[in-house]
Amino acid sequence: MKIVVIMGGTSSEREVSLLSGDNISAALQKNGHEVISIDTVLPIEQIEKPIEVTQEHINQGDKNLLYLLAHPEIQSADFIFNALHGGSGENGIVQGILQTLGYSFNGSSAEGCTIAMDKVISKMIFEKNGIPTPEWLYFERNGGMDYPEIIEAILQKFNLPLVIKPGHEGSTVGLTIVENEDQIQTAIDCALQYNSVFLVEEYIAGRELTVSILGDQALPIVEISPLHGIYDYECKYTNGMSEYIIPAKLDPALNKQIQKMSVKAFNLLRCSGYGRIDLRLGADQQPYFFEMNTLPGMTKTSLVPKAAAAIGLSFNELLEEIIHLGRNGKK
């Protein structure tokens, strides 16, 4: 097949996307495909002769992407492998363009991505359907409340520590574990740097788990033991900063229940193809689901490839399965 791998982009997860994209491109080439790799911030003239990306390119936003995808050279591709993470690559905007132009591509539809990217909407859907999620509140920047009112509402509902995070961001960017009252306002400002909506959640002390979904199946659960208290940016992307236990050592009934809930959540958020849901197992032995990732990391050491390896699926085979699902699955 002729496959175009799109990567980089303008989101806060740009660097991770470049790693995923390079890995995917190399593996697809090895699998015998004709591969064109594209950093989506580069101008159309640079498709064949890539130049060094500058901050200026990134500041221009996603305008180039639109022209790139409409380019005849790209339109003759059999498949677009979207290796973007976060931002427009994962929130449904790029998927909408791909669908409009009639491409087959990996992962969820525009609709699924938009729903899953929004932590507020996701949590509402979880709550309505018996998917346990941490107790929470959410506020909008222009929601008509000032800081003292917001802080009072937060303290009325939660004990410390609590968690403040942006409404739709990834890689633990903009997230603060608030240990004392004085930190609340700074944590809010930090989250608001990324989105106009932020969430406040009860802090779940417990084991960090993640469930990969491939097709309509949950892969073996991965337990993560991050060196820092939480699975933050550094622990996610630095070798040796986290330990992984695959499959997680869980009571078989609980293991099955978490996998079943994960697939249910995947379907409720209208995701398809593959994805990965993050959760913690509380000290009360209850799972608390955080969020669904519709374009999870795809470096060789990323979590979905690790989970796939646990059922004997190599990285290269996993990519072929994702392509198969993208070409044949319903969106």
Ligand X SMILES: Nc1ncnc2c1ncn2[C@@H]1O[C@H](COP(=O)(O)OP(=O)(O)O)[C@@H](O)[C@H]1O
Summarize as ranges the residues that interact with ligand X (CB under 6 A): 134, 163, 165, 169-172, 175, 201, 203-204, 208, 230-231, 278, 280, 290-291
Judge whether 327 counts as a catalytic residue.
Answer: no
Residue 79 vs 290, nearer CB to ligand X: 290
Asked if 320 contacts 32 with a C-beta cutoff of 8 angstroms, the reply is: no
Out of 13, 118, 201, 232, which one is annotated catalytic?
Answer: 13
What is the smallest separation between the CB atom of 141 and ligand X, expressed in angstroms?
Answer: 19
Report the distance separating Cα 45 and Cα 55, nearest Å.
18
Q: CB of 107: closest distance to ligand X in angstroms?
A: 16
Footprint (CB under 5 A) of Mg ion, residues 252-311: 278
181 annotated active-site: no
Q: Does 293 qualify as catalytic in the annotation?
A: yes
186: CB partners within 8 A, 6+ apart: 176
Q: Is 169 in the site for Mg ion (CB under 5 A)?
A: no
Judge whether 204 and 282 are in contact, CB under 8 Å: yes
The single residue of 103, 194, 237, 274 carrying the catalytic annotation is: 237
Nearer to ligand X, 62 or 278 (CB): 278
Question: Is residue 149 annotated as a catalytic residue, yes or no?
Answer: no
User: Closest by alpha carbon to 145, among 154, 157, 135, 136?
Assistant: 154
Minimum distance, C-beta of residue 133 to ligand X, in the bound complex (Å): 9
Binding partner of 90, given Mg ion, ligand X, none, CB within 5-8 angstroms per partner class? none
Smallest separation, CB 285 to Mg ion (Å): 21
**C-alpha to C-alpha distances, 79 to 33, 38, 113, nearest whole angstrom:** 10, 13, 18
Q: Tokens in use for 80?
A: 């677009």
- Nearer to ligand X among residue 51 and residue 230 (C-beta): 230
Side by side, the strands of the sheet bearing 176-178 are: 136-140, 197-202, 162-166, 176-178
Distance of CA 44 to the CA centre of its chain: 27
What is the DSSP-derived secondary structure letter of residue 182? Answer: G
What are the catalytic residues?
13, 171, 237, 276, 278, 291, 293, 297
Q: Catalog residues that contact Mg ion under the rule CB under 5 A.
A: 278
